[in-house]
């Protein structure tokens, strides 16, 4: 079976490097399923899980936005942050979720609602990926 070389890179350096049969990720325009020989594409990503399939197994990676660049034999994901389930501190993610929910429930004018909403999305994504 043909594979794609996949690189996930963050500002801190490479987060993942490998060959996979399929990559699934959520772009701002919708869900993308990428197989070998896919047409070239660049798309912005949302806060979501990237699914990497190989030999009947699926690996998950929590990404916090960024971009995906697709070439026929290579997928590069440039993300602000990327974490594998084993690297996620679940207690910390749950605390971040609670703090974000509390901020969103406050009606004070000095609360940056969008920032709290993004923090909540990141925390929920990290918790979801850690459970896979």
Please check whether residues 74 and 106 belong to one and the same domain: no
C-alpha–C-alpha distance, residues 59 and 50, integer Å: 8
Whether pTM exceeds 0.85 = no
Q: What CATH number does the domain containing 112 carry?
A: 1.20.5.440
Quote the pLDDT of residue 104.
75
Q: Which domain holds residue 63?
A: 4-83
Q: What CATH number does the domain containing 32 carry?
A: 2.60.15.10
Please check whether residues 108 and 124 belong to one and the same domain: yes
Quote the pLDDT of residue 120.
74
CA dihedral for 62, 67, 70, 75, sign (positive or negative)? negative
Please check whether residues 16 and 48 belong to one and the same domain: yes
Please check whether residues 9 and 58 belong to one and the same domain: yes
Region 48-63 average pLDDT: 93
Which residues are within 8 A (CB) of 60 and not within 5 positions of it... i.e. 6 or more apart?
49, 50, 51, 52, 84, 85, 129, 132
Quote the pLDDT of residue 17.
95
C-alpha–C-alpha distance, residues 116 and 119, integer Å: 5
C-alpha–C-alpha distance, residues 22 and 52, integer Å: 6
Q: How many domains does the chain have?
A: 2
Q: pLDDT by residue (tens digit) across 79-125?
A: 998 988 788 778 888 888 888 888 777 766 666 767 777 777 778 77
| Residue 57, beta-bridge partner list | 54
Residue 65 to residues 15, 55, 74, 85, Cα–Cα distance (Å): 14, 27, 19, 17
Please check whether residues 100 and 38 belong to one and the same domain: no
Please check whether residues 121 and 57 belong to one and the same domain: no
Please check whether residues 22 and 60 belong to one and the same domain: yes
Quote the pLDDT of residue 108.
63
Q: pLDDT by residue (tens digit) across 2-41?
A: 999 999 999 999 999 999 999 999 999 999 999 999 999 9
């Amino acid at each position: 079976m043909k594979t794609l070389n996949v690189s996930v890179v963050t500002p801190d350096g490479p987060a993942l490097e490998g060959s996979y049969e399929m990559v699934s990720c959520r772009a701002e325009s919708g869900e993308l399923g990428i197989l070998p020989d896919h047409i070239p594409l660049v798309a912005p990503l949302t806060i979501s899980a990237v699914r990497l399939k190989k030999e009947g197994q699926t690996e998950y990676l929590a990404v916090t936005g960024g971009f995906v660049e697709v070439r026929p034999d290579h997928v590069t994901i440039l993300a602000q942050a990327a974490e594998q389930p084993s690297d996620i501190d679940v207690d910390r993610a749950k605390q971040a979720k609670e703090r974000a929910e509390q901020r969103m429930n406050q009606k004070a004018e000095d609360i940056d609602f969008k920032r709290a909403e993004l923090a909540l999305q990141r925390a929920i994504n990290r918790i979801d990926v850690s459970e896979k």
